[in-house]
Amino acid sequence: MPFTAKPRKFSAGIIEIPLGVGQNAVTIGGGNVLPLYYFDNPAKNPPAVGVEITDTGVEAAGLPELAAYYEGANTPAERAKKAAAMEGADFVCLRFEGADPGGLNRSVADCVAIAKEVVEAINKPLVIAGSKNLEKDVELFSACAEVCSDKNVLFLSAREENYKTIGASCALAYGQKVGAESSVDINLAKQLNVLMTQLGVQPQSIVMNLGSAAAGYGFEYVASTMERVKLAALEQNDTMLQMPVITPVASETWSVKESIMPESDMPEWGSLEERGIEMETVTASACLASGCDAVILRHPTSVKAIAALIAALL
Amino acid sequence: MALKGLDIFKLTPKTNCKDCGNPTCMAFAMKVAQGAVSIEKCPHMSPDALRQLSEATEPPMKTIAVGEHKLGGETVMFRHEKTFVNKNLFALYLCADMSDADIDAKLAEAMKVDYERISERMYVECIFVNVSDTQTAERGIAVVKKAAETGRDIIVRCKKPELAKEIVSAVPVKVLVGADASNWEAMNAVAKEKGLVLGVSGKDLSELYDTIEKLEAAGNKNLIINIGGSSIKDAFAAAVQIRRAALKDNVRAFGYPSIVNVERMAPGDHVLQAALASLFELRYGSIIVMGRMTYADALPLYGLRQNIFTDPQKPMKVEPGIYALNGADENSVCAITVDFALTYFVVSGEIERSGVPVNLLIADAGGYSVLTSWAAGKFSAGTIAKFIEEHQIESKIKNRTLILPGKVAVLKGEVENKLPDWKVVVGPNEAIQLVRFLKDYK
């Protein structure tokens, strides 16, 4: 008796959201099968891989390979160009690490100038990530949304505390895309999407950031939340959970012990950079398997591996 | 499991003889369906009925033992539906064609990875030795012996039954991989004679299905499914489709654990192999064969496995006690928090980032987060004072400053009353603020 696998397609699907404009646009989301199950139905849009740079560029400190990749690029715009040219890169994410009032406290005006230079320098879609300071991000995003108008930029992220201003300025006033960030809980994710749409933001302008964790740091919550969100979107046709999911993996994985403990403190662990690369790669792969439609990574080696993994599954 | 009382009733003698202790056969059948009594209580069941019942009550996926480890036995596709039961194992890939120097180096490198994380030993549980058809028995035996010296469980892949027989007769092996449509009878004989788990493969899922049915008919249910060849796409599809068929569509022949070889899918590409291992940890690989295992591979992969194979109904805990961070000694400041593993990792990570020596005290709070355990009365001034006493903190540490989590700032006064010698300081609400807090505090 031959065995025939039963394909599982769903009548509901994930919303398709284009980022960027023209020939350089990338569409994330789409599709009506469980994450990466392209044997059930071919992929509508493969998951996208973004490359993160920061305005400060400090992330390359202590990482010889990463520093070598960006060698000679002294401004954020120059680094962004190199990031966009990375093998496997679909989009660039500019993270305003330096805008944090608790850190460098770079002024909004300076950040806006950087954002403008970056968006004009690259030929790939841009994602702008904030400083994680709720008040500063509101100001920063509104101003950046204005100078990046017509570029279809995604802003990460609006949270429950500041979604109103960010949703109104980025999405409603300037037609940009907004990330809705919740902390690893399906109900919180849905609630924020409901609030955003009630504000008037179209579901087609919302990308979910369900929160993340590095592998080993409570990733079970991330995996289960993503899986439940995808099952609710597809099986139960929950329209408030059908937005694609983006996960900023790099900022989580490059700050855990495994990726920052110097080799001199942990000689048996071996190269710091290699540990960071594998932590980033393993976490990104687990995010994609759980239901993420776009990941944001930092290291060229991780970007290449994850792009190769996605290509091999198509 | 799926059998209802009525289905069982149809199989009983329907004589109401009461020999089982129940007034009627119907009452007995109902109890059996609920799992209250065993079907063997009825002395009059026909062997045929018993067979039908035992088949119907068999779990959808068998549990297979490899050495001291258990594989399979899963009942759900996603961990949130209930829990995953048996964590996947890792195996190091060796091939008899490799040079001795290569084999020694690979083994030595992988054996260095042996550490503990949240009360679990992390190491490569198995060694996978590939013996190609053209290889001699002498060479195969020599390599497998070398692998066996590590004390790890040995998996041999060999498609020639005579060669396989010579090897497994000479060295203790746990799993023999290599049965397929062409050689299953002879391979089955070798595996059965030595009591080995037999790894089965097929050129596609239909052939695999047929071969497993034949092996089962020949009385072997100690199997493991060898997933795919060198195509990543096919291997991933097979892993998912096999598990789905077993759990959702009741395809008994696919109710076995799996073995996936990522070294074969991405030869020598360790980063891509790590990405693949991560994928198969989440999606149904039971033994994952890797080209190497260093700390760089192990730290994220074992951490991820420890996360995914936790029971969602039970919180993950760390051992209560003193964790001296950044070279803290008896004069360093103390900070206390709960034993929920996630809390411990986030807090200890931030303290390590600050570089300030701190004695992190982990109190027994039932494995819940700060606020949850506080609300449940498991993290209070009383339990903190009791912890300090029971773990003899005052004799082990001279410093008398105790930092409380900001979320339980309300406990400050009470803790001061219970621990009059201590200076109690309220720390930040979120772990992420610890770096600044500790630097300022110093």
Q: Which of residues 117-176 of B touch A (CB under 8 A)?
A: 117
User: Is the pLDDT score of A265 beyond 60?
Assistant: yes
Q: Please tell me the distance in Å from A285's CA to the nearest CA on chain B.
A: 5
User: Is the pLDDT score of B58 beyond 80?
Assistant: no
- List the single residue in A216, A227, A278 with the smallest CB-CB distance to B297: A278
pLDDT digits (tens, 9 = 90+) for B337-352: 999 988 998 898 889 8
User: Is the pLDDT score of B119 beyond 90?
Assistant: no
Instruction: Mutate one of A6, A39, A40, A220 to test the B interface: name it (highest B CB count within 10 A).
Output: A220
Q: Which residues in chain B have Cβ-Cβ distances shorter than 8 Å to A313? A: 232-233, 236
Q: Summarize the confidence of residues B69-94 as an average pLDDT.
A: 96
- For residue B30, the model assigns a pLDDT of 86
Compute the Cα dihedral for A139, A143, A145, A146 and give only its sign: positive
Q: Alpha helix (H) ranges present in B267-362?
A: 270-282, 295-308, 341-354
Q: Which of residues 96-155 of A touch B (CB under 8 A)?
A: 102
- For residue B392, the model assigns a pLDDT of 93
**What are the φ/ψ torsions at residue A306 (nearest 5 degrees)?**
-70, -40
Provide CB contacts within 8 A for B22, sequence distance 6+: B28, B31, B37
User: Is the pLDDT score of A125 beyond 90?
Assistant: yes
Contact A282 B283 (CB under 8 A): no
- List the single residue in A39, A217, A270 with the smallest CB-CB distance to B295: A270
> How many Cβ atoms sit within 10 Å of the Cβ of residue B354?
19
Contact A3 B251 (CB under 8 A): yes
Q: Which of residues 258-277 of A touch B (CB under 8 A)?
A: 258, 260-261, 268-271, 274-275, 277
Q: Is B271 on the interface with A (CB under 8 A)?
A: yes
Q: Which two tokens stand for residue B12?
A: 């009983």
Predicted structure pTM score: 0.89
Q: Summarize the confidence of residues B217-240 as an average pLDDT.
A: 94
User: Is the pLDDT score of B20 beyond 50?
Assistant: yes
- List the single residue in B272, B277, B345 with the smallest CB-CB distance to A308: B272
* Model-level ipTM above the cut of 0.90: yes
Bridge partners for B179 per DSSP: B200
Q: Which residues in chain B have Cβ-Cβ distances shorter than 8 Å to A275? A: 295-296, 299
Give the whole-angstrom CA distance, residue A236 versus residue A223.
Answer: 19
Contact by Cβ (8 Å): B337, B344: yes
- List the single residue in A39, A220, A275 with the smallest CB-CB distance to B295: A275
Q: Which residues in chain B have Cβ-Cβ distances shorter than 8 Å to A1? A: 209-210, 213
Compute the Cα dihedral for A238, A252, A314, B208 and give only its sign: negative
Q: Which of residues 84-103 of A touch B (CB under 8 A)?
A: 102
Contact by Cβ (8 Å): B146, B107: yes
Radius of gyration of chain A from its Cα atoms, rounded to whole angstroms = 19
Q: B3-29: buried (b, 16+ CB within 10 Å) or exposed (e) per residue?
A: bebeebbebbeeeeeeebebebbbbbb
Q: Which of residues 159-188 of A touch B (CB under 8 A)?
A: none
Give the whole-angstrom CA distance, residue A254 versus residue A259.
Answer: 5
Give the Å distances, CA to CA, from B192 to A32, A293, B137, B162. Answer: 45, 46, 20, 14
Q: Which of residues 59-88 of B touch A (CB under 8 A)?
A: 78-80
pLDDT-derived band at B439 (thresholds 50, 70, 90) equals confident
- List the single residue in A2, A305, A313 with the smallest CB-CB distance to B236: A313
Provide the terminal-to-terminal Cα distance of chain B, rounded to the nearest Å. 62
Instruction: Mutate one of B304, B311, B430 to test the A interface: name it (highest A CB count within 10 A).
Output: B304
Give the whole-angstrom CA distance, residue A255 versus residue B435.
Answer: 13
A245 DSSP 8-state letter = B
User: Is the pLDDT score of B55 beyond 80?
Assistant: no
Residue type, A198: Q
Contact A261 B352 (CB under 8 A): yes
- For residue B1, the model assigns a pLDDT of 46
Q: Which of residues 37-66 of A touch B (CB under 8 A)?
A: 37-39
Higher pLDDT, A125 or B50: A125
Contact B205 A270 (CB under 8 A): no
User: Is the pLDDT score of B74 beyond 70?
Assistant: yes
Q: Summarize the confidence of residues A209-236 as an average pLDDT.
A: 95
User: Is the pLDDT score of A157 beyond 50?
Assistant: yes
Question: Apex CA A276: angle with CA B427 and CA A85, to 5°?
Answer: 120
pLDDT-derived band at B2 (thresholds 50, 70, 90) equals low
Q: Is B298 on the interface with A (CB under 8 A)?
A: no
Q: B361-392: buried (b, 16+ CB within 10 Å) or exposed (e) per residue?
A: bbbbbbbbbbebbbeeebbbbebbbebbeebe
Give the side-chain half-sphere CA count within 13 A for B370: 20
Nearest to B422, CA basis, from B402, B442, B395, B393: B402
Q: Summarize the confidence of residues A274-281 as an average pLDDT.
A: 98
Q: Summarize the confidence of residues B320-340 as an average pLDDT.
A: 93
Instruction: Report how many Cβ contacts below 8 Å link chain A to chain B.
Output: 177
- For residue B157, the model assigns a pLDDT of 97
Edge-first strand listing for the sheet containing A48-54:
A206-209, A177-181, A154-158, A126-129, A91-95, A48-54, A294-297, A246-248
Instruction: Mutate one of A282, A287, A301, A314 to test the B interface: name it (highest B CB count within 10 A).
Output: A282
Provide CB contacts within 8 A for B230, sequence distance 6+: B264, B265
User: Is the pLDDT score of B264 beyond 90?
Assistant: yes
Contact A313 B240 (CB under 8 A): no
Among residues of chain B, what percentage have pLDDT more than 90? 75
- The full set of domain ranges for chain B reads 5-57, 63-308, 321-441
Q: Which residues in chain B have Cβ-Cβ distances shorter than 8 Å to A257? A: 348-349, 352
B5-57 falls under which CATH superfamily?
Electron transport complex subunit B, putative Fe-S cluster (1.10.15.40)
Q: Is A278 on the interface with B (CB under 8 A)?
A: yes
Q: Mean pLDDT across chain B, nearest whole number?
A: 92
Please state which CATH number belongs to domain A17-313. 3.20.20.20
pLDDT-derived band at A24 (thresholds 50, 70, 90) equals confident
Q: Summarize the confidence of residues B113-125 as an average pLDDT.
A: 92
User: Is the pLDDT score of B283 beyond 90?
Assistant: yes
- For residue B62, the model assigns a pLDDT of 94
Q: Please tell me the distance in Å from A193's CA to the nearest CA on chain B.
A: 22
Give the whole-angstrom CA distance, residue B420 versus residue B423.
Answer: 8
Give the Å distances, CA to CA, from B229 to A7, A129, B37. Answer: 21, 41, 46
Contact by Cβ (8 Å): B224, B257: yes
Q: Does the fold of domain B63-308 match that of domain B5-57? A: no
Task: Report the residue of chain B nearest A307, measured CA to CA.
Answer: B272
Contact by Cβ (8 Å): A279, B300: yes
- List the single residue in A1, A218, A278 with the smallest CB-CB distance to B307: A218
- List the single residue in A102, A224, A278 with the smallest CB-CB distance to B274: A278
Any idea which fold B63-308 has?
A: TIM Barrel (3.20.20)
- For residue B441, the model assigns a pLDDT of 80
- For residue A1, the model assigns a pLDDT of 61
Please state which CATH number belongs to domain B321-441. 3.40.50.11600
Give the whole-angstrom CA distance, residue B150 versus residue B114.
Answer: 12
